[in-house]
Amino acid sequence: MNCIPSTGSSPMKGGDGPYSYTHNSSFQRQGVETAKALINEDIAEKLDINELISSSSSSSKVFSIADLGCSVGPNTIIVVENIMDSVKLKYQSFGPNNQGALEFQVFFNDLPSNDFNVLFKSLPSSDRQYFAAGVPGRFQVRLFPKASLHFVHCSYALHWLSKIPKELVDKTSPAWNKGRICFTNASNYVREAYSTQFGKDMESFLNARAQELVCGGLMALTILCLPEVISGKCLALGLNDLLEACLNEMVEEGVLSEDMVDSFNLPQYYASKQEVVSLIERNLCFSIERMEPLVRPPRNGMAPSVESTISAFRAVAEELLVSHFGNDIIDELFGRFKKKVVESSILSKSADNPGMLELYVLLKRKVD
């Protein structure tokens, strides 16, 4: 097999099977449910609905919502229906003239290889109160016409990089990430290369959205970030380390070539809150209306189960691993991974450790 450098973000596991994102996205779903209350408050307080709708070039009253990096499964549907319900409430609060006239257009965006068929089949078939469309493409580029969106949502997607910085796979570079698959525990050069790529991706993302959102339009983001104080290991970081250990073990046993593993890096970067703030401020087109961590209900010492953890990790990483290593080693890799998860007691240790910082950010498109 050719040893190609791993590329950028890849879709979640589609279909309806045991490792599908549809059946293994409860971590993200709890986050989406937690963010609901913040989004509802923000729409009630910050969305100038009459201004937005009357400035629309169209004579009909259409409110356009886009969920970027929507994936498949129930999360995206929960998100858009919540936004829609909140917007309706706000609209109706302005009196009898604002009853019933508003129509909703919802755009579901993800990478072209996302399982849009499964997504479309899972949309409510009767009594759906919005017009739905799929928009395939990378969200670092323009996806919509100018000033055509009123509300953009994006959860658990912005930490995915559009590509792996080439230095990470360049044997002559100080940022060569030999034997490692991510930036944590790696040299500062590696971290810098990841951070630079994240900065470029965020810049492109914000530039595109600045053109697509109407002035006064809102954008709600939930971004996985590094916690300010990393006391003990976050589960997500610990799991990446265990995956790395499995791959290196397979090299030692001759199952995988060293080159194959050295050329694989996870296209994920967890920024600090400060990095996110600086990138938004540098863009100049958005005001930060709210920025705070999502606070999940306490775990009370309850550790996640081994099976649910492996399946959730697999739903996110399998497509990426298959695209680099091929399909044949996947079951063996996850067999080893499961053994390491059990032996490491990472799950019981994580029960009382703070997890990743899930940063909720509400941005408003400034008037030019």
Ligand X SMILES: C[S@@+](CC[C@H](N)C(=O)[O-])C[C@H]1O[C@@H](n2cnc3c(N)ncnc32)[C@H](O)[C@@H]1O
Contacts with ligand X by CB under 6 A lie at: 9, 11-12, 25, 28, 32, 69-71, 75-76, 109-111, 114, 138-140, 155-157, 160, 162, 316
Closer CB to ligand X, 48 or 275, in the complex: 275
Residue 236 sits at the vertex; the CA angle it makes with 269 and 199, to the nearest 5 degrees, is: 10
Tokens of 58: 């169209």
Least distance to ligand X, CB of residue 346, Å: 20
Q: How far apart are CA 167 and CA 185, in angstroms?
A: 17
Least distance to ligand X, CB of residue 217, Å: 19
Closer CB to ligand X, 53 or 152, in the complex: 152
Backbone phi and psi for residue 50, each to the nearest 5 degrees, phi listed first: -65, -40
Q: Are 45 and 86 in contact (CB under 8 A)?
A: no
Element (H, E) at 214: strand 213-225
Which residue has the closest beta carbon to ligand X? 69
Closer CB to ligand X, 11 or 227, in the complex: 11
Strands 103-110 and 62-68: parallel
Closer CB to ligand X, 204 or 272, in the complex: 204
DSSP string, 26-62: HHHHHHHHHHHHHHHHHHHHH--HHHHHHT-SSSS-E
Closer CB to ligand X, 13 or 90, in the complex: 13
Least distance to ligand X, CB of residue 3, Å: 24
What DSSP character marks residue 336? H
Least distance to ligand X, CB of residue 360, Å: 12
Nearest to 81 by CA among 108, 61, 53: 108
Q: How far apart are CA 35 and CA 221, in angstroms?
A: 10
Closer CB to ligand X, 69 or 227, in the complex: 69
Least distance to ligand X, CB of residue 220, Å: 11
Least distance to ligand X, CB of residue 74, Å: 9
